[in-house]
Structure 1
Amino acid sequence: MAIQIIPFKSELATEFRDLNLVWLNEYFHLEPKDSELLGRAREEIIDPGGAIFFAETAEGHIIGCFSLIPYGTNSFELGKMTVKKGYEGQKIGHDLLVFAINYTREQGKEWLVLYSNTILETAIYLYRKFGFEEIEMEFPPPYTRSNIKMALKISD
């Protein structure tokens, strides 16, 4: 499926929240950090130097998203990446991840890190396919659901 990847606009803040609430409620539960990021996306992600992008169909439907949250001085945390139910298996996650890696490189960042959970097997497979490797997780992790932390070294 052909998609266009578009940047965050204030009118899409509700789409960002709602897309993420679906998978959070299906697999886990809403944590305080989720509430901050989803309820105040501009203030918590964009204003500190991060970014949010959306997958949009030719018809103008938003069917996926991800965020790049500032992580230290030389990295982004890939977060809140999801594809709307009914659109899985169409390489939308793949396209979003390619965009995220390229954007991270363009911003001059050295690392792209993420927190996940191994029950999300399709996501973990995708991350490994792109070269993400498991790294040591700090304690406590930023999300109680996180049981894996991965990183990708961004090369020139």
Structure 2
Amino acid sequence: MKIVPYEPQYAQDFYDLNVEWLETYFYVEDFDRDVLSNPDKYILNPGGHIFFALENNIVLGTVALLKKEEGAFELTKMAVLPNQRGKKIGQKLMQYCIDFAKRNNFKKLFLYSNTKLENAIYIYRKFGFVEVEQEADVPYERSDIKMELKFIKR
């Protein structure tokens, strides 16, 4: 398995993986459809990044880093093919994002989630994310927890 940056040929995989995940665990919000349908406009052009886990040229999973302010990126749109879940692909994508953030001197990564996703929350904590207060104008209706990982400059 290798992790590669976004290329237009993966746009449909980005959309399909995330919509499947959202429909399985929650529902697709209008904001999700906008972002997933226009990753250039909402993620890449403002300075964000999208990565894909590939094996034999098949997209197994994806994740995005959405730039919110200088050095602060939201870890978002992480999804793995249903038949590939449980193989730590999400954790490999998470580690890749953390390493990428450190290499690029990010100040922090943060994410929004839902506490009903107990395994995900456990994994976020395992990677060093801590719960912080969630602002009132959260972009996702389904979010009831915000977590962040700050990086110490060396």
What band does the TM-score fall into relative to the shorter chain? over 0.9
The two structures have a TM-score, normalised by structure 1, of 0.94
Q: Which residue pairs with 1:133 in the alignment?
A: 130
Q: Which residue pairs with 1:12 in the alignment?
A: 10
What CA distance in whole angstroms lies between the structure 2 residues aligned with 1:81 and 1:149?
Answer: 15
- The alignment covers a number of residue pairs equal to 153
Q: Deviations over 1:43-91 (max 9, x none)?
A: 110011000000001x211010000000212211000011111111211
How far did residue 29 of structure 1 move? 1.2
Q: Secondary structure of 1:37's partner?
A: helix
Q: Which residue pairs with 2:139 in the alignment?
A: 142
Q: Provide structure 2 residue ranges, at least 5 long, that are not aligned to the other structure.
A: none
Q: Which residue pairs with 1:27 in the alignment?
A: 25
Ranges of 4+ aligned residues in structure 1 off by more than 4 Å? none
Q: Which residue pairs with 2:44 in the alignment?
A: 46
Q: Secondary structure of 1:93's partner?
A: helix
Q: Provide structure 1 residue ranges, at least 5 long, that are not aligned to the other structure.
A: none
The two structures have a TM-score, normalised by structure 2, of 0.96
* Native 8 Å contact 1:101 1:154 kept in 2: no
How far did residue 145 of structure 1 move? 0.2
What CA distance in whole angstroms lies between the structure 1 residues aligned with 2:129 and 2:73?
Answer: 13
Q: Secondary structure of 1:94's partner?
A: helix
The CA RMSD over aligned residues, in Å, is: 1.0
How far did residue 7 of structure 1 move? 0.6
- Partner amino acid for 1:53? F
Q: Secondary structure of 1:86's partner?
A: helix
- Partner amino acid for 2:38? R
Q: Deviations over 1:95-118 (max 9, x none)?
A: 101100011112211100000011
The answer on 1:82 being equivalent to 2:82 is no
What CA distance in whole angstroms lies between the structure 1 residues aligned with 2:145 and 2:112?
Answer: 6
Q: Secondary structure of 1:134's partner?
A: strand
